[in-house]
A and B are shown apart, each in its own frame.
Chain A
Amino acid sequence: MTAGESYLIKQISVFSENRPGRLAAIAAALKEEEINILAFSIAEADGFGVVRALVDKPDKAYAKLSARGFNVAFTDVIAVQMRDEPGGLFEVATLLGTAGINIEYAYAYHSRDAAVLIIRVDRAADAAKVIKEMGGKLLSTITIQ
Chain B
Amino acid sequence: MGPKRPRDQAPLPRDYDQGIIGMFWNEVIETLPPDALEALQLTRLKETVHRAMKVGFYKKAFREAGITQDSIKSLADVEKLPFTRKQDLRDGYPFGFFAVPLPEVNRIHTTSGTTGKPTVVGYTKNDLDSWADLIARNMTMVGVRKGDVFQNMVNYGMFTGGLGFHYGAEKMGCTVIPSATGNTKRQIEMIHDFGVNVIHCTPSYAMHLSEVAEETDFSMDSLKIGLFGAEPWSETMRRELERRLDVTAFDSYGLSELFGPGVAFECPERNGLHIWHDAYLTEIIDPASGERLGPGERGELVVTPLTKEAMPLIRYRTGDVTKLLEDRCACGRGTKIARITGRSDDMLVIRGINVFPSQIEHVILGLPEVGNQFMVYVDRVNHLDEMLIAVEMNRESFHGELTDLTRTQAKVAKSLRDALDLRTTVKLVEPGSLPRFEGKAKRVVDRRGVV
Contact = CB atoms under 8 A, between A and B. Distances in A.
A15 B393 contact: yes
Interface in A42-69: 43, 45-50, 69
Contacts of B395: 71
A22 B193 CA distance: 40
B430 A17 contact: yes
B401 A46 contact: no
Contacts of B432: 69
Interface in B361-413: 393, 395, 398-402, 405-406, 409
Nearest to A47: B427
Contacts of B398: 15, 71, 73
Which of B398, B399, B409, B433 has the largest count of A CB atoms less than 10 A from its CB? Answer: B398
B399 A73 contact: yes
Interface string A1-37: 0000000000101011100000000000000000000
B347 interface: no
Overall SS of chain A's interface: strand
Interface residues of B, number: 17
Contacts of B427: 47
A15 B399 CA distance: 10
Contact of A69 (B393, B400, B428, B430): B430
Interface string B350-370: 000000000000000000000
A17 B433 contact: yes
Given A50-B401, A75-B400, A15 B406 contact: no
Contacts of B190: none
A69 B431 contact: yes
A74 B400 contact: yes
Given A15-B393, A71-B393, A50 B402 contact: yes
B405 A15 contact: yes
B429 A75 contact: no
Contacts of A74: 400
A49 B393 CA distance: 12
Contact of A50 (B400, B409, B429, B433): B400
B402 A46 contact: no
A126 B401 CA distance: 20
Contacts of A46: 406, 409
A114 B402 CA distance: 28
B400 A45 contact: no
A45 B405 contact: yes
A46 B401 CA distance: 14
Interface of A: 11, 13, 15-17, 43, 45-50, 69-71, 73-75
Given A13-B401, A45-B405, A50-B401, 12 more contacts: A17-B429, A17-B430, A17-B433, A45-B409, A46-B406, A48-B405, A48-B428, A69-B431, A69-B433, A70-B430, A71-B430, A73-B398
Which 5 interchain pairs have the tightest Cβ spacing? A13-B400, A73-B400, A75-B400, A43-B402, A50-B402
29 contacts: A11-B400, A13-B401, A15-B405, A15-B430, A16-B430, A17-B430, A17-B433, A43-B402, A45-B402, A45-B409, A46-B406, A46-B409, A47-B427, A47-B428, A48-B405, A48-B429, A49-B402, A50-B400, A69-B432, A69-B433, A70-B430, A71-B393, A71-B398, A71-B430, A71-B431, A73-B398, A74-B400, A75-B399, A75-B401
